[in-house]
A = this chain, B = another copy of it.
């Protein structure tokens, strides 16, 4: 399920002497990514590269050999972690007993596991402006799948992007309340999911024009 990683060093194929990629090089690469993942999760992308090099037990030179720019390393890690995230959340959805439960379990899992990953959340924000940056696409595919399955129980007009943006928003809520009110986001999730159910039949506004007056239709009495 993990996405192909194009950066993976490959054997050179044009030379007579085709030496396999050295085992320790691969090990180093893994160690760097693992350490970077931890550090990025804890501190976000503003970390000092030394911190990562130190934790992974390699020198700066090695790190920069594998990832010529800090940016490259971050992208690689994020791609990996987004994949893991998508996988774990999807797994939760698969095990659910019905489409609605799949959706709710998906959010539950997604927000419980990786939403504390600072760098993930930091970059999840870039979903829309630079969607190819990381493995976000996978997450989107999972959501697309869930949405398709749950069409009947979902409020009409809800799009995959809506669900994705909801995940982004709630992920932020998780980050924000993590230290002081660690379960507060759960209430928000309930509220939002309620609003997603099929018993709400009001049209969602088109993206193009923010129709201010549409609110009147939301009046409870109406």
Contacts and interface: CB of A to CB of B under 8 A. Distances in A.
Interface of A: 98, 100-101, 104-105, 108, 112, 124-129, 153, 155, 158-159, 161-162, 165-166, 168-170, 172-173, 175-177, 179-188, 190-200, 202, 204-210, 212, 214-216, 218-221
B168 A184 contact: no
Copy tally for this chain in the complex stands at 4
B128 A176 contact: yes
Contact of A101 (B124, B185, B187, B215): B215
A98 B222 CA distance: 13
Given A128-B179, A168-B176, A205 B219 contact: no
A98 B219 CA distance: 9
Contact of A183 (B126, B129, B158, B210): B210
A125 B161 CA distance: 23
15 contacts: A104-B218, A108-B212, A127-B176, A128-B176, A129-B180, A159-B187, A162-B184, A168-B172, A169-B173, A169-B188, A172-B172, A187-B207, A190-B202, A194-B218, A197-B218
A172 B174 CA distance: 12
B190 A101 contact: no
Contacts of A175: 125
Given A195-B194, A219-B98, A220-B198, A209 B183 contact: yes
